[in-house]
Chains A and B, each alone.
Chain A
Amino acid sequence: MTDHWGYSQTDLKHYTCYRANGPIVVDGRLDEGAWRLAPQSPRFEDLQTPGRPALLDTWAKLLWDDDYLYVGFWCAEPHLRGTQTERDCMICRENDVEVFIAGENAYFEFELNSLGTIMERFYIWQDAYVTAGYDQLAEFDLLAPGIIDTLGGAWSGHAHPRGRRWCFRNWDMPGLRWAVDLQGTLNDDNDVDVGWSAEIAFPWTGLTHLADGRGLPPRQDDVWRMDLSRFQWMEEAGRRICPGWAFNSHDVYDSHIPEKFTYIHMSEQEVSTATAMQAVIEEAGE
């Protein structure tokens, strides 16, 4: 993947993920001291157009400990909305936040709405299904019951020069935890809401099929590629559109390009005022 399939790496963003300095309670509120000290991503930018800021303030933070990778989102939102409650339904038909975590030959997709409903999918590049050994794993048996789909190709969208991905729609990450916290009233457009936050704990053991030799939990200077984004439906003047806002742009309206995912640099340092200061200095230097 050294040529990144022709996708430029130059405008991609980098983030240092520090260790939490205490326990994280997954309740949707990013109120632990560790969250306050963790570096805050820049305001998300348009998925298609680099440098164009998200219309509504959106940012993410990441932390980790021996058991979990933690992702926190903040989404400013004057009209909190959400109706879907069925797990693994098409969450992205409504407002959501999304996390993609990539390995060399596979990636995981996670979507979460303001009701706390999630969708998970596990994708394996068809060109690596056999060579990377996924065909030997029972959970990725192509003839197993359940919904196995494909992504990519002219008719389903998400075309990628690498080809198609197998899509395991029934795959669940064991031990995954998540919560949302709403500041406002859901599905009531008569008042102005503040927004919502999300807190997700991805167990390192759940990332086994994406690790490619990286430590679980991670080691100093391990690099992971992740896409952190938000999709926001807008109905204005008789039109309905759904812009995507992400930690860094993909240059196209397509989340499914691991080569455009943000670089997450793992640090064994605990968050502290010193790391917070370091983040400020690094941001100023960019």
Chain B
Amino acid sequence: MNEIATIAPHTIYPVSRTDKAPIIRGRLDEPMWNQAARTTRFVSASTGGVAFFDTQAAICWDDEALYVAGWLEEVDVWTTTKERRGLVWEENTFEIFIASDGALYQLSINPAGDVQQLLFIWKDAYTAGGRYDVADLNLAERRPAVVGGDAGPHHRRGQRWLFDEWAMQGLTCASRVSGDLNERHNLDAGWTVEISMPWSGLAHLLDGPSPVAGDRLRIALARNQVIDQMQQQFTTCWSWHTAGDAGLYAPEGYPVVELRS
């Protein structure tokens, strides 16, 4: 097997082009996932410190879609899919953030393959008759929340519309558990995720019609992890890049990825 390159978040990640679209099963056994560069091991999103479970991801593309794979080491894979607080499940999830000048898309997926999607549009980018003033983002009809006012996440740029019922057309995702889901007393190996986001579904995040080699995107990759020890339960976040105090909803800190031919 080839040595797989690992790419640190402060360098530009090369998104390799695949000749053959993956079948989205979560298995990650297509050859493309053994050739694509992987991210460096995720770290504490707030401090950059070592995260105790290994987590890596990889990204590929073709003319149809952007593909993301995630490998998550985990000794006890579980999910209830119910507990949710704030913008994310208060459970173990793999997360993708894609930012553009005006918008931010977040996808969370749990070990059962359940998906939560959020689409944020900066208020200063949403103008009457502008590119976001379209049917699937109509404020009166789609009834978004507002963040950055009373509720976080806050950002110095100001408030954002949050479309929490928006769903990407054509999105396909799968998770696969190596072990026994929700069996809490044996040792699991972990779980993997595989996600296909068609470029057509990403239109609100793109400036042109269809991407070409050389185009760059800002993408953050992260993992929410419940720490459940000593009668306490809280959620920590591990990510490819160190987000620091700004947090994962501050897109200016996201790693840059570049589509390669």
Contact = CB atoms under 8 A, between A and B. Distances in A.
Main SS class of interface, A: loop
Interface stretch (B149-157, B174-182, B208-216, B227-235): B149-157
A169 B87 contact: no
Interface string A145-175: 0011111011111000001100101000000
A66 to B, nearest CB: 36
Given A155-B151, A155-B152, A156-B151, A129 B140 contact: yes
A135 B140 contact: yes
Given A149-B150, A167-B150, A143 B128 contact: yes
Interface residues of B, number: 21
A156 B143 contact: no
A189 interface: no
A129 B159 CA distance: 21
Given A143-B127, A151-B150, A167-B150, A156 B140 contact: no
Interface string B219-244: 00000000000000000000000000
A149 B152 contact: no
A149 B149 contact: yes
A142 interface: yes
B150 A142 contact: no
Contacts of A156: 145, 150-151
B85 A148 contact: no
A126 interface: yes
B51 interface: no
Interface string A167-189: 10100000000000000000000
Nearest to B162: A150
A130 interface: yes
B130 to A, nearest CB: 10
B85 to A, nearest CB: 6
A164 B149 contact: no
B146 interface: yes
Contacts of B189: none
Nearest to A135: B140
Nearest to B86: A155
A283 interface: no
A11 interface: no
Interface of A: 126-127, 129-130, 135, 142-143, 147-151, 153-157, 163-164, 167, 169
6 contacts: A130-B141, A149-B149, A150-B144, A151-B150, A153-B145, A156-B150
Given A135-B140, A142-B139, A150-B145, 17 more contacts: A126-B143, A130-B140, A130-B141, A142-B140, A143-B126, A143-B128, A147-B159, A148-B146, A150-B149, A151-B150, A153-B164, A154-B85, A155-B86, A155-B147, A156-B151, A164-B143, A167-B146
